[in-house]
Structure 1
Amino acid sequence: MSRPSATLRTAVVWDVLRGALDRRVKLSDRAELDVLDTGGGTGNFAVPVARLGHRVTVVDPSPNALFALERRAAEAGVADRVRGVQGDAHGLFDVAERGAFDAVLCHGVLEYVDDPADGLRNAVAALRPDGGTLSVLASGLGGAVLARALAGHFTEARQALTSADGRWGEGDPMPRRFTPEQLTALVIATGLEVVSVHGVRIFADLVPGALVDTGTDAQEALTRLEAAAAELPDFQSVAGQLHVLAEVRPPAAGGRTA
């Protein structure tokens, strides 16, 4: 099964997510899972997930993105397994059913919502209470600081490092960034159990394009390097993005799900 587009930037996330979905299939004893992709846009992950045989609902506020999603799903032959609806994390249950999904993808959402904790609680509430998987992908603070410093923008790098939202100035297009500890704490606060944390785009955003445009050998070598460093905390702290995989804790016998 091919990875999503922009392989260098998504390979770590896709490999973790695909493995998590395979485990969820075994645990649920259902070959087809119901997956919710909040902020799924044009289907970078939704279409590959549908190609695995699952049903995917994409919630996104952009009509243009949903139109591109529909076209991409049709071209991939999975139009019958991908449904796009206009909405956002705040009003998620206006367009999606609560507690109905085996897995929820919350990629590139928490940086933009007014209240990340509230947005994440909605994503978790969409999971089946008897078991589900959450995939969270968000912008990393350390990667932005390092990138500004290497570009010679030292004042901006310091501003990002010391500001509460991780922004380097008024011209910064990113509303918010997270450290690994901040993002993990947000997930834990929802009551889910964190399975793994990965750094994403540790090197890919810093390596000159000319070095990886020379052929597939260089691209594969960089992809392997990203994978090798992804689980190491020292490298997670300087990653461009952070990925947290978490699961609903199974209910205790005679008790309730946490």
Structure 2
Amino acid sequence: MPSESRVRDAGGPAAGTHAALRTGVVWDVLREALRTRAATTGRSALDVLDTGGGSGSFAVPVAGLGHRVTVVDPSPDALFALERRAAEQGVAARVRGVQGDTHDLLDVVERGAFDLVLCHGVLEYVDDPAAGLRAVAGALRPGGGTLSVLTAGVGGAVLSRALAGRFSEASHALGDPSGRWGDADPVPHRFTVDGLRALIADAGLRPGQVHGARIFADLVPGALVDTEPDALRALARLETEAAALPAFQAIAARLHVLAERPTTPSGER
């Protein structure tokens, strides 16, 4: 099975133009989620966990906002790259790398210790997404915490296969329970919005806002926007405007969902 870090979207806010566009919607949502959680807790520096965080494409920019970030990843090479990236960005004191995987997550990090957990590019690669999500949910603070899930969408795979002329593969992905287009498909699991929300609810979390990511960005050649700032801005606006619309979430390459851990009722541990 591929390492959980191998599919992390390249680049954070400082990435190249087209790469940044692919995660722009997610970053907008994450920044607001961090502000909201900080206001709710009264703490400007939050404890953030990035599962399968690889070399820190999300973790390092989050640390740059002043938060403490723990990255769990199975790859020593990815964790070495994380350490180097954090040092280059001057946030090494706020970034910690831990070797581990989703299935043993709560053996390598403290249960209930994090204000916000990132689970990006992980669920589509774990053997049991439901069990993986339960482990991730266990890392959230029992008094309430926020989970950010970013994962592969079925509709995006169907659309990309069809546009490539792979009509049989598109049809297969459309009807396959895991959203796979065939035996050679490198992605073990893809999700619909309803399926992902149900998975989150089954983990004891309350699913919130959903956004589609990479709705158009994956379909537009980089050469059309990388050298044309006006075109890039227009495409970024289009991605943002479409991200919250269910019709476009259904064809997004990636689905992003924020979820909350309900506040523990009085008297419960």
Q: Same fold (TM over 0.5)?
A: yes
Three-state SS of the structure 2 residue aligned to 1:90 is helix
How far apart, CA to CA, are the structure 2 residues paired with 1:64 and 1:219? 33
How far apart, CA to CA, are the structure 1 residues paired with 2:14 and 2:134? 27
Superimposed CA distance per residue, residues 113-172 of structure 1 (whole angstroms, 9 cap, x where no aligned partner): 111011001111000000110000000000010000001010111111111111111221
Matched, 1:47 2:57: no
How far apart, CA to CA, are the structure 1 residues paired with 2:268 and 2:13? 37
How far apart, CA to CA, are the structure 1 residues paired with 2:58 and 2:143? 24
Match of residue 143 from structure 1: 156
Match of residue 43 from structure 2: 30
Three-state SS of the structure 1 residue aligned to 2:103 is coil
Match of residue 82 from structure 1: 95
Match of residue 209 from structure 1: 222
Q: Is the 8 A contact 1:100 1:128 kept in 2?
A: yes
Three-state SS of the structure 1 residue aligned to 2:147 is strand
- Alignment map for 1:144-163 (pairs within 5 Å): 144-163=157-176
* Structure 1 position 213, deviation (Å): 2.4
Match of residue 34 from structure 2: 21
How far apart, CA to CA, are the structure 2 residues paired with 1:248 and 1:255? 17
Three-state SS of the structure 2 residue aligned to 1:166 is coil
Match of residue 250 from structure 2: 237
Read off the aligned partner of 1:85 and give its amino acid letter. Answer: V
How far apart, CA to CA, are the structure 2 residues paired with 1:238 and 1:255? 44
Match of residue 133 from structure 1: 146
Read off the aligned partner of 1:3 and give its amino acid letter. Answer: P
Q: Is the 8 A contact 2:106 2:138 kept in 1?
A: no
How far apart, CA to CA, are the structure 2 residues paired with 1:61 and 1:184? 27
Matched, 1:3 2:16: no
Match of residue 103 from structure 1: 116
Superimposed CA distance per residue, residues 182-219 of structure 1 (whole angstroms, 9 cap, x where no aligned partner): 11111111222222000000000111222212322211
* Structure 1 position 255, deviation (Å): 5.1
Matched, 1:72 2:85: yes
Read off the aligned partner of 1:202 and give its amino acid letter. Answer: I
Can you give the 5+ residue segments of structure 1 that lack an aligned partner in the other structure?
A: none
How far apart, CA to CA, are the structure 2 residues paired with 1:117 and 1:184? 12
Read off the aligned partner of 1:66 and give its amino acid letter. Answer: L
Read off the aligned partner of 1:157 and give its amino acid letter. Answer: A
How far apart, CA to CA, are the structure 2 residues paired with 1:51 and 1:33? 12
Match of 1:226 among 216, 239, 247: 239
Three-state SS of the structure 2 residue aligned to 1:91 is helix
Matched, 1:250 2:260: no
* Structure 1 position 251, deviation (Å): 3.4
Can you give the 5+ residue segments of structure 2 that lack an aligned partner in the other structure?
A: 1-11
How far apart, CA to CA, are the structure 2 residues paired with 1:251 and 1:217? 48
Three-state SS of the structure 2 residue aligned to 1:77 is coil
Three-state SS of the structure 2 residue aligned to 1:178 is coil
Identity %: 67
Match of residue 91 from structure 1: 104
* Structure 1 position 4, deviation (Å): 5.4
Match of residue 3 from structure 2: none
How many equivalent residue pairs? Answer: 255
Q: Is the 8 A contact 1:129 1:248 kept in 2?
A: yes
